[in-house]
């Protein structure tokens, strides 16, 4: 399903509207075909695109759809809907549940071969930790993600994490 890599590429590039359009079209096509496996992944990433646009209620509904669609062994769908849901929980001030859900997202990812997904989920966990008032833990999570992205030479993702680290340092530096 070409909509997923194209939509994820737009997410990485920070063009959340384009990601929404591509993934939304993919979800519609897959739904019309009766397909569930790829659709759960497309829905999970679409939830992230909507979250990034501050459309939190829609993102919440899509994480619920992805949860219902995803097979137990579908690493990408299971990790992605949980990561987005964790950020939604953190935004609502439910810090304990948010951290728990972020850790659950991390637990979905096998120890090898999924470094890009692991880096993305670590970045999501960092946002949860920042919103929960734990900037030191957020920094640790971001540094781990940065190392993964640098090791894989994923320059756009590494640059985004460096910007997040700089923003975190700026927000929490003594004035």
> Can you tell me the distance from the alpha carbon of 76 to that of 52, in angstroms, rounded to the nearest whole number?
18
The average pLDDT across 153-167 equals 95
Q: Are 48 and 10 in contact (CB under 8 A)?
A: no
| CATH for the stretch 1-70 | 1.25.40
pLDDT at 115: 84
pTM check: above 0.85: yes
> Can you tell me the distance from the alpha carbon of 120 to that of 102, in angstroms, rounded to the nearest whole number?
11
Which two three-digit tokens encode residue 173? 């530096």
Nearest to 109 by CA among 90, 98, 96, 125: 125
pLDDT tens, residue by residue, 31-52: 999 998 899 999 999 999 999 9
pLDDT tens, residue by residue, 64-73: 999 999 999 9
The average pLDDT across 131-146 equals 96
pLDDT at 112: 63
Q: Are 17 and 9 in contact (CB under 8 A)?
A: no
The average pLDDT across 121-127 equals 97
């Amino acid at each position: 399903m070409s909509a997923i890599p194209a939509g994820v590429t737009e997410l990485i590039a920070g063009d959340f509207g384009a990601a929404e359009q591509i993934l939304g079209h993919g979800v519609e096509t897959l739904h019309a075909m009766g397909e569930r496996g790829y659709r759960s992944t497309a829905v999970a990433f679409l939830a992230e695109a909507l979250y990034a646009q501050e459309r939190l209620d829609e993102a919440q509904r899509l994480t619920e759809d992805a949860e219902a669609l995803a097979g137990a062994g579908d690493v990408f769908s299971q990790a992605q809907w949980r990561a987005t849901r964790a950020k939604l929980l953190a935004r609502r001030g439910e810090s304990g549940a948010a951290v728990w859900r972020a850790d659950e997202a991390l637990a979905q990812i096998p120890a090898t071969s999924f470094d890009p997904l692991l880096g993305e989920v670590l970045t999501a966990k960092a946002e949860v930790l920042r919103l929960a008032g734990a900037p030191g833990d957020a920094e640790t999570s971001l540094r781990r993600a940065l190392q993964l992205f640098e090791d894989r030479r994923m320059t756009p993702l590494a640059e985004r994490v460096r910007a997040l680290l700089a923003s975190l340092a700026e927000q929490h530096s003594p004035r």
